[in-house]
Amino acid sequence: MHDDFKFEPVRGLPEALPKDEHIIWQGSPVARRLWIEAFKAKWVAGYFILLAVWRFGVSVADTTLAGSIVLATPFLIVGAFVCALLYGLAWIQSRATVYTLTNKRVGMRIGAALTMTLNLPYNQIEAAQLDLRLGGTGTLAFLLPVDTRLSYLMTWPHIRPGHINRTQAALRCIADAERVARLFTDAAETRLSQPMVERRDAIPSHAVAAE
């Protein structure tokens, strides 16, 4: 099987990790949940069901019951086809996506046709929010600084829904989301509690040379 991402030195990341950095978790969206939440499969299915019911209702007075069913059935067939197509897109997105947590950052390899990688260092994440769903899946979204702008179209569906003006990158529809959120919290707290040492020479280099 041909691997479209065989050029990656580390799966899901564009470059090898430094010696002081390691992966603590990797995952991808659950295709079925992405299909329902991002591609709105239930809404699409409901729309075509309503069309079928409407067609059945307006025709039942003019034709037989069997005839009304025949007239309404094409809407159900088209609806099933559209839902299947959307599931295929969700599956492709899920397969092409790799979310990564390291001890220093969040990494997101996203995009099916046009692949891109987002690196979100913990010290640039202002806050995180978990949207937990039944079955343990959920979306972990990250609030970034105001001056860090992400394209809504380029990053969809890997964003927090409903936040267009200030786009929030998100680990969308991941399994065991509560555990992943705990891993993120522990890693971020550990990273941010480490002191940053800045080197500053007390004696100018030209003074040392003069001596």
In terms of phi and psi (left: phi > 0; alpha: psi -120 to 50; beta: otherwise), the region of 162 is left
Strands of the 98-102 sheet, one edge to the other: 23-27, 98-102, 105-110, 116-121
Higher local confidence (pLDDT), 106 or 147: 106
User: Residues 66-121: pLDDT tens digits?
Assistant: 888 899 999 999 999 999 999 999 999 999 999 999 999 999 999 887 889 999 99
Cβ contact 118:151 at 8 Å: no
- What is the pLDDT averaged over residues 38-66? 91
Q: Domain segments of the chain: what residues?
A: 34-93, 101-193
Give 12 or 180, the one with higher predicted confidence: 180
Residue 7: the pLDDT is 63
> How far is the CA of 95 from the CAs of 28, 92, 110, 130, 175, in angstroms?
7, 5, 10, 22, 14
Alpha carbons 119 and 76: distance in angstroms, whole number: 43
At 151-177, the pLDDT tens digits run 888 899 999 988 888 899 999 999 999
CATH class for domain 101-193? mainly beta
